[in-house]
Structure 1
Amino acid sequence: MLQQIYPPVAHDYAYELNKDMHFAAAHYIPHDDAGKCRRVHGHTYFANVTIAGDELDGSGFLVNFSTVKKLIHERFDHHTVNEDELFDDADPGRYPTTEIMARTIWEIVQEHLDVQPNKPRCLQVFLRETPSSYVVYRPKAVR
């Protein structure tokens, strides 16, 4: 993977972890305004997930890098995103646009982090759809 520069997230946590990954997936946007994107097409998505926290777990990790990859890569790689239960062709708030996919990745990661004893937080998801188009999703600050 090429070295990427991601927008930094201001925070006062002691640790910050960033996990880069890519996955190949198809999708379509079920809305008339989507133009050609209404048709099924694919992308090689590049994602960066930023996680932060003050405490490490019992194995000395904030969160294991491989866990973060499994949560996203295994779920979406070589799949049609629209078929995932988290997306819905009848709900514009759940179409698999890059914006909503970035938010959904955050939801998946944060749901996993919420049950960890060291309580890390997912601060940002950067999702690149094409070489010239990307989205950054940052949830409203919660601590």
Structure 2
Amino acid sequence: MIQQIYPAPSHSYRYELNKDMQFAAAHYIPAEEAGKCSRVHGHTYFANLTIAGDELDECGFLIDFAVLKRLVHDRFDHRLLNDDTELFDSKDGSRFPTTEAVARIVCELVQQHLDTRPNRPRCIQVFLRETPTSYVIYRPHPEVRHER
């Protein structure tokens, strides 16, 4: 993957890791207003996940890079995103497989897994490039951190 500098989210965590990956997927936006995008077409998506936290796990990781790849790449690569009706919905505009929604859903899927980890890392940013000239950044609202 080509080296790229991504916009850095502001945070106060001690550790931050970034995982780059790509996946090829097709989709369509089920709305006439989407123009050409209402027809099935594909992209090679480039994603960067930013994970942050204060504690490392028993292996010295925030999260193993391979786990992030399984969560995202294995779920989306060589798929028609619209077929994943667990994640996407052709009747709910907020769940059409737009780049914005895919970035949000990637963040939510990763965070669901991170929530099971004893060190409780956070997915604080998903950068998702759909084409060489178009990308989305999704940052979930920061949650109130409670000191242990």
Percent identity between the aligned chains? 67
TM-score w.r.t. the length of structure 2 is 0.95
* Residue aligning to 1:53: 53
Kindly indicate whether residue 109 of structure 2 is the aligned counterpart of residue 118 of structure 1. Answer: no
Kindly indicate whether residue 126 of structure 2 is the aligned counterpart of residue 128 of structure 1. Answer: no
Cα shift readout 1:39-91 (whole Å, capped 9, x = no counterpart): 00000000000000000001111100000010000000000001112001111
Unaligned runs of 5+ in 1: none
Runs of 4+ in 1 over 2 A off after TM superposition: none
* Residue aligning to 2:16: 16
Q: How far off its partner does 1:33 sit? A: 1.0
**Distance in 1 separating the partners of 2:40 and 2:67:** 29
Cα shift readout 1:2-55 (whole Å, capped 9, x = no counterpart): 001100011111100100000000000001110000000000000000000000
* Residue aligning to 2:7: 7
Instruction: Calculate the aligned-residue CA RMSD, in Å.
Output: 0.5
Unaligned runs of 5+ in 2: none
**Distance in 2 separating the partners of 1:87 and 1:5:** 30
* Residue aligning to 1:86: 87
**Distance in 1 separating the partners of 2:37 and 2:62:** 38
**Distance in 2 separating the partners of 1:128 and 1:10:** 21
Equivalent residue pairs, number = 143
